[in-house]
Amino acid sequence: MASDQENSQDANAPDDTSEKEITRGITIMKSIIRDRDKAVTYNVNWNADNQLIGSNAAKLASYIGTLVRMHIPITATRWSNKELGSAKDKIWTEILRSFNIEDTTIRKKYILQLAGKRHRGWRTFLTNKYLKDKEIFFVEYDPEYPVKYAIFITEEEWVAFVAQRRDENFKKVSATNRERASNPTYAYKKGRLGYARLEEKILDETKSDATSLPPHVLWKEARVGKDGTVRDDVQHIYDECETLSQSISTAEDQENRSVLSRALNVPEYPGRVRGKGHGCTPTSLYKNPRRRNPSNQEVMETLQALQAQVLQLQKDNERYRCMEKCSSQLKETSEKASINCQNKFPEGISSCQLYLSSPTYRLVGKGKVHNTSGDLLHHRPLPDGHLKVSVDVVLDKDALLPIPDIVSETTLLRDAIGSFVAWPLDLIFIDDETPTKPASKDKGILRHNESVASQKEVFAQGSQQLSQKIGSRQKNKRDLPVTYLPKKGAFVPRYQISLETLVDSSDMATAGAIRLLDMEEDIFGYSCTETIGKEDLEHIFRHQELGVGVIHTYIRFLYDNFMRGNDQLSNRFRFVSSSLVNKALICREPDSCREYLVKRFMASSTNNLYLWPYNSGCHWLLLAIDPLKEVVYFLNSIDGEWTNYPDMKQLVDTSIKVFRSQRQARVPRTKSSNITWIKVQCPLQRNGIDCGYFVMRFMREIINMNQIEIPITYFDEYKCAHYTRLQLEQIKEELCQYFIEKRLISI
């Protein structure tokens, strides 16, 4: 009978049944049950994104599948069905008996979501094995009852399950999903490993201090086959993600779509993060609470605040129009007068008082104004809106000249006593005049009502405070210069003001004007000329993103002011040219970039730290390379990892290995392929502009500390979470002062 029954079943079944395809037994995880009876439990680990990792992760995932088959009927079509609540609680309880997991809401939610995936996979497996043929199409005959899984499925459940799967609506959905999954554009190639355990594997192999990797890095690695090759289309998506990651802030990434979704041009589904795997959500990744819709009261309060801002803007606009009207009237008066001869002043030479309006309106000196037709200043015409004055008395010794005197290289008013300078018309007052100050919100004493004696007294007090502040901050003569206003202690960007005024009065005010700065061979290992354009200077004045010309000019400043004539520093620190090694050249001419780096490394036989400002296309970061010790210090002001720049890292590693070979160094086998990369916990920028300024200050501080080894937590003397605007302005002051001192800009 048994034989007849088997023959009858064989007659109705296809030739290659799924029973013959499976050679292993039913997975019921008996070892876990035996260990549980012995009171043995398993530890599990979680990563920074609250995903399951570790050696027992796969064991737990398989055990969850077994529990799902035991407690959840295959006829359950919706995992969110409340009728499954007791069965889910049973699964959670059984897992807690064998695995050491915190009994928290977030852990239970993760495990039960994983159980839901196992249930869907179980139902799909039964469908493909018993209800479909080789071509994955539904069979017409009645499928046999899977006796092998009788411990999980009753005959009544099987009949109901078959009826569900043969429903026409289900068949349409199945056909659509089959077509979509039949030929994926970017196929996943890591089997059951999953993104979380793939991330764990990469971090272990690279011995990285990072706790997680960007989604697009994991996405790329998950599509690398066993031979290690990366398809061109996958690499293209990765490169596009690298570019987008430098221009899109974390807030934009969270609010709209991730850089990976943007590069793939696909929507980002809610509740998940593409490229991070099961359990990682936007909320857990970005550590921000979910936004709620504002209440009516909050909307009204916001509307009222906006209305108040609009009213204030209207008032400011009206005030600006009044000031513009007054300025145009002054300009008309200037144009109607003869050359350099102003009707508002007596013709000839008159005693006058000299005022400055920035950063505060104040009397700074006395002298004589020369209101003479056709008068020149140092054989050059006077700038529009200015007259020639001779300086006799200085009341504010730290006052800057409105326009620096290039001939005598004078920028301070106190250095111009007895000489002629150009002074703005509206800041010159004849001795018998009473100067008036524009309306101000400051309710303190007005300068025109304050006696000269009281001004000197205030200045004396301010000078004493200034010397105390500078004395407490400066440790040596090479420390960063800090300039304070005598009274309020506010930073004065005096060299920026002077340089901007100088640019406006020279041919550099014209678009396309350039200046050339010679770079000696000792700086980058070859002689070259750096080009400085008007737009480079405008980027400094307006605090915008910096180009390579400005970065190289600051390197020349560091060389001239720190290393020239100092054998200890010049033999310890060297620079790598950003013009010869950058992202574009690494991709286009990797061999020439490698040859240049190796040549730089071969330039010295002692320990050197090579400072390389690297431009990734739209972001500056700093590499400090010690080729002899084979250590690379990675300083990134946006807290990114070096794994985000694989082309750069590969170039550095290859160059160090070639350098090692050329100097015939013997390296232990354990280190032969292990170049040490150290991520320095340096200050971080809070916008998308400051990266260039951060890199310049990093180089300044590294040279100032005179240490080859950079601490992982950065230098104690400069340790901070973020650089202040004042700290960045100090770097800009040094740049502008260097432009003036080198006489790169002249009238």
pLDDT at 196: 80
Q: Is pLDDT of 639 > 70?
A: yes
Mean pLDDT of 373-398: 80
481 band by pLDDT with thresholds 50, 70 and 90: very low
Report which secondary-structure segment, H or E, holds 533. strand 528-533
Q: Which residue has better confidence, 645 or 278?
A: 645
- In angstroms, how far apart are the furthest CA atoms of the chain? 134
Tell me, what DSSP letter sits at residue 516? Answer: E
Q: Which of 129-133, 459-463, 695-699 has the lowest mean pLDDT?
A: 459-463
Mean pLDDT of the chain: 77
Q: Quick one: pLDDT at residue 747? A: 53
The band of 103, judged by pLDDT with boundaries at 50, 70 and 90, is confident
Tell me what pLDDT residue 621 has: 93
Provide the whole-model pTM.
Answer: 0.40
| Element containing residue 176 per DSSP (H, E) | helix 168-182
Residue 288 Cα distances to 109, 110, 211, 282, 688, angstroms? 19, 19, 18, 8, 21
Nearest Cα to 562, choosing from 623, 477, 635, 473? Answer: 477
Q: What pLDDT is stored for residue 18 in this prediction? A: 40
Total Cβ atoms within 10 A of residue 523:
22
Who contacts 638 (Cβ-Cβ below 8 Å, separation ≥6)?
A: 619, 621, 684, 685, 691
Give residue 438's pLDDT: 44
User: pLDDT tier at 147 (50, 70, 90 boundaries)?
Assistant: confident
Highest mean pLDDT: which range of 82-86, 303-307, 402-406, 647-651: 647-651
Question: Does residue 325 register a pLDDT over 70?
Answer: no
What is the pLDDT, as a whole number, of residue 457?
38
* 576: exposed, middle or buried (Cβ count in 10 Å: 0-12, 13-18, 19+): buried
336-354 average pLDDT score: 67
13 pLDDT above the threshold of 70: no
Structure-model confidence comparison of residues 746 and 460, the more confident one: 746
Distance CA 490, CA 540 (A): 20
- Percentage above 70 pLDDT, the chain: 78
**How many CA atoms does the CB half-sphere of 160 hold within 13 Å?**
10
Q: How many residues does the chain have?
A: 747
Q: What average pLDDT does this structure show over 6-32?
A: 52
Give the model's pLDDT for residue 673. Answer: 59
pLDDT at 151: 85
pLDDT of 377 > 80? The answer is no
Q: Given a cut of 70, is residue 670 above it in pLDDT?
A: no
**Burial of residue 354, with CB atoms counted within 10 A of its CB: 0-12 exposed, 13-18 middle, 19 or more buried:** buried
Instruction: Extract the tokens encoding 381.
Output: 């015409």
What are the start-end ranges of the H helices in 379-504? 452-473, 494-504
What percent of the chain clears pLDDT 90, i.e. is strictly above it?
13
Averaged pLDDT for residues 73-101: 88
Instruction: Identify the three-state secondary structure at position 529.
Output: strand
CA 235-239-241 angle, 5° bins: 115
For range 525-543, the mean pLDDT: 87
Which pLDDT band, with edges at 50, 70 and 90, does 209 fall under? confident
Instruction: Check if the beta carbon of residue 371 is closer than 8 Å to that of residue 351.
Output: no
Q: What pLDDT shows up at residue 410?
A: 76
**Signed CA dihedral, 318, 319, 321, 322: sign only:** positive
Residue 583, pLDDT > 50, answer yes
| Mean of pLDDT values over 520-547 | 88
Is the pLDDT at 390 greater than 90? The verdict is no
Q: Which helix (H) or strand (E) holds 219?
A: helix 215-221
* pLDDT > 50? residue 518: yes
Burial class (CB in 10 A: 0-12, 13-18, 19+), 344: middle
Most confident listed range (188-192, 321-325, 340-344, 730-734): 730-734
Q: What is the pLDDT of residue 460?
A: 38
Query: What pLDDT score was predicted for residue 577?
Result: 93
Mean pLDDT, range 624-653, rounded to an integer: 91
Predicted local distance difference test score (pLDDT) of residue 284: 65
pLDDT at 584: 79
Model pLDDT, residue 102? 86
Note whether 723 and 694 are within 8 A (CB): yes
pLDDT at 285: 66
pLDDT, residue 318, reads 64
| Dist CA 221 CA 228 (whole Å) | 9
